[in-house]
Amino acid sequence: MSENIYKSRIEPLARIEHQGALGMLEILLGIMGERERFDEYASLTSAGIKTYVHDWEVNLAGEDGEPVYCTMRSDYFSNYGIFESLGYASGSEIKEFNFLKLSDVVKLLAFELMQGRAMLSMVEIDGALEPVALLGVDAGATWLKLTFQRVGSDTAEERDFWGMESLQGEDEDFVNWCVVARPGERSSWAASLGRLRRDLLVWLCQHARSRKEFFHETRANYAPGLYGQERFLELLKLLTDEDFAQAQEQKGGGQDISRYIGLYTSGVIEGRRAFARRLSVWAGEVDAYEDDLWGDAIAVGEQLEKAARAYEEGASAMEAFASAYAREQRVIPSHLEHVQASCDRERDAIAALERAFEID
């Protein structure tokens, strides 16, 4: 009888509530034991406030020669560097891996589990990659079973990976992609909290006004910031045309678009609300920063509060759209008013932040 080469398992994390990049962040914070600081890190890493939309007009067409109107991956990454920023801000050692051999991932996971730590990865669920927390491994000479926890769950499930070459199946961009989070301390030379927050806000204003950003992970261009939100609205306008929507359904893209809309809206709603809550806190702490990067503390605080209110209003408008879309199961013209209002409030928020730092 064959013996186990690796066999280890830990208890599930607290329920994973968020999807996309926010879900990835939530898993890492659960591993780090810092879930209570979700709002702060969702802000400092850009996970909750960036916007990337797959731009079908500047990317290659699909295999059928038709434009690719959306991809779930646009919500997973940020050129600000979510994982790098988390490590820099927290002091934890965050390491991202891609293109490993599956046998090496098994060894890495076994080591992390022996230390009592889960590992972040992605697996294919209903035809698309979703973030998971890897919680267990049972590997032998002729078998490989991994235990993981999905978004929206507080329990674990087991899947047989024997005979597979990658956790991400046949995906070409992500091959045994995973991230570890290990204890550490902030370096003595690391920037102050005040500088980290200000740098993030300045980047956010630049990101909001950009027109195109390239992701090396997926080798695709994305519409960022305010322009990205406009592209999302344009996609919804296309979907109000019954012929277009029906054509997407017939070629199998309808379900993908519906899933994408859910991922995009949840990211905006949950991410902006987390950021709005932190902006209000940051507004009250401006005069406590040891550096003088913030200028007039009272004036800056007022603009941060205005931005916080605008972000919250924008999230509420997007929530109204999400609720209406869930009821109708299709996009109708009246839905667009909610999304337009969300875009307008985001534009107001960015304008307030630009006034705070006198960014042209």
So what's the pLDDT on residue 253?
53
The two structure tokens encoding residue 233 = 């609205």
Reported pTM:
0.94
Query: Read out DSSP for 133-155?
Result: EEEEEEEESS-EEEEEEETT-SS
Beta partners for residue 124, in sequence order? 129
Q: Which CATH architecture has domain 4-182?
A: Alpha-Beta Complex (3.90)
245/95: higher pLDDT: 95
* Contact (CB, 8 A) for 31 and 157: no
pLDDT in tens, 280-328: 999 998 877 766 677 888 899 999 999 999 999 999 999 999 999 999 9
Residues of the chain with CATH 3.90.70: 4-182
Asked whether residue 190 carries a pLDDT value surpassing 60, the answer given is: yes
Asked whether residue 229 carries a pLDDT value surpassing 50, the answer given is: yes
The whole-number average pLDDT for the span 142-165 is 95
Asked whether residue 245 carries a pLDDT value surpassing 90, the answer given is: no
The whole-number average pLDDT for the span 167-173 is 93
- Separation of first and last alpha carbons in the chain: 71
3-state helix, strand, coil in the chain (%, to 5): 50, 15, 35
pLDDT in tens, 247-292: 887 765 555 888 899 999 999 999 999 999 999 999 998 877 766 6
pLDDT in tens, 18-69: 999 999 999 999 999 999 999 999 999 999 999 999 999 888 888 888 888 8
Asked whether residue 89 carries a pLDDT value surpassing 60, the answer given is: yes
**Interatomic CA distance for residues 28 and 133, integer angstroms:** 8
**Interatomic CA distance for residues 74 and 37, integer angstroms:** 24
